Structures are given as C-alpha cells and as structure tokens.
C-alpha cells in the first residue's frame, strides 16, 4: 500500500474510502477524456447472461467480453491492438450500457451504436456486416451467410469469423445456426446462445 493510500485509510472510514476511491477514479477518467488521453473506456454491464465487460473508444464500441473470459487477456489484447491508455470510465460507455439494458429488458430490437472494427480482420468484417442484417427474432444459417457474401463454400470460415466476433450481442452472431436448425457453436457458450434466442422469440421458451 502506497503512503497516500495509507493516509487516506487513516482519515476516512473504509466504506467512505471506497466511495472516495471510485469518485477519484471517475474524475481521473473524465480528465483523461477531456485531455484526449483516454483511448479505451471500460465498464461492466449486468445482464441475464452474466456480467459483460464493454470497451469503448472514440470510434465506437470495440469489445464486449463475457464474464468467463480472462479479463487480463482481454485487456492485454486491447492494449496491444488498440491502445494501452485504458481506464474504467462509465460515462464514456453510457450509451452502449443503456442500449444493452434496454435489449435485455425487451425494449430494444436493434442497436444503433457505432462499432470500432479494429479487432476484426477484413473477412470477419465482411461476415459481421452481413450478420448484422439478421433481424431480431430471425435466424440464418452459416451457409446462408457464406452465400450472401459470395463465398458459398466458406461456411466453416464463416463460423470461425463469427467465433472471433469482438462485439457479440451488438453484432448478433448468436442468430446464426446450423443448416439442420441446431445451435452448434457460440463463443459465449450454447447456454447463452439459447438464452439470447429465447429472449428474441426465436426459440420456444
């Protein structure tokens, strides 16, 4: 524990110290954003499928991570591929969090936040651009997505691209299923995929 933290702990009751620490962190994040030094803002969103980590840059939403993803690996990847200037900054993520809350409450059928595509390869961008057009309550097969992007034999590659989707839910890769109607894979796990499709009315409850 650093000397400033020790001094704060002696002066302020523990619960107040936590509040003071959170307030200070928010102030630092606000100052960093105002100075143009906040490249990646982080916040958590509670949802029916667990806590989600959202990461937002000035270009838009860059990452949505499920709670069982290794946070250190997620942050390392963001630092390496986007920017090391990362801070918890709720205010910068307000719009994304608001729309996710609305979606899980059944009040939103599509997202209209900007997406930062820096974590996507060119092929993944192509696949996800088409996947984003699969509407609420609808499903498409991997083969249909492959055909729609002019690569009818690339169903497996489409599956791999969807598995690498850095912004699940917002770009709805959960709406892509096997040709037989089976759910097959999902980076967040089949339980989450089932929950999301039932929420949207694509599966019987």
Residues tagged active-site: 173
Which stretch of DSSP H or E encloses residue 140?
Answer: strand 140-141
DSSP 58-69: TTEEEEEE-TTS
CA nearest 56: which of 6, 14, 95, 111? 95
Residue 43 and residue 54 in contact, taking contact as beta carbons nearer than 8 Å: yes
74 Cα distance to chain centroid: 11
d(CA 99, CA 102): 5
Q: What is the DSSP letter of 54?
A: E
- Beta partners for 52? 45
Burial of residue 160, with CB atoms counted within 10 A of its CB: 0-12 exposed, 13-18 middle, 19 or more buried: middle
**Phi, psi of 71, deg, nearest 5:** -60, -35
């Amino acid at each position: 524990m650093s000397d400033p933290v020790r001094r704060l702990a002696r002066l302020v009751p523990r619960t107040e110290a936590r509040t003071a620490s959170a307030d200070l962190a928010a102030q630092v994040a606000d100052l960093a954003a105002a100075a143009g030094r906040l490249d990646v803002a982080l916040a958590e969103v509670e949802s029916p499928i667990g806590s989600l980590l959202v990461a937002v840059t000035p270009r838009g939403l860059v990452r949505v991570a499920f709670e069982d993803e290794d946070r250190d690996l997620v942050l390392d990847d963001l630092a390496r591929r986007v920017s090391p200037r990362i801070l918890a900054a709720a205010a910068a993520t307000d719009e994304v969090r608001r729309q996710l809350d609305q979606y899980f409450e059944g009040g939103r059928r599509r997202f209209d936040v900007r997406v930062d595509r820096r974590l996507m390869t060119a092929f993944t961008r192509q696949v996800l651009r088409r996947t984003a057009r699969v509407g609420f309550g609808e499903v498409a097969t991997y083969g249909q997505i492959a055909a729609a992007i002019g690569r009818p034999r690339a169903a497996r590659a489409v599956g791999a691209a969807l598995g690498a989707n850095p912004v699940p839910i917002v770009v709805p890769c959960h709406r892509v299923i096997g040709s037989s109607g089976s759910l097959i894979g999902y980076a967040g796990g089949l339980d989450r995929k089932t929950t999301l499709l039932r929420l949207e009315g694509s599966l019987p409850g």
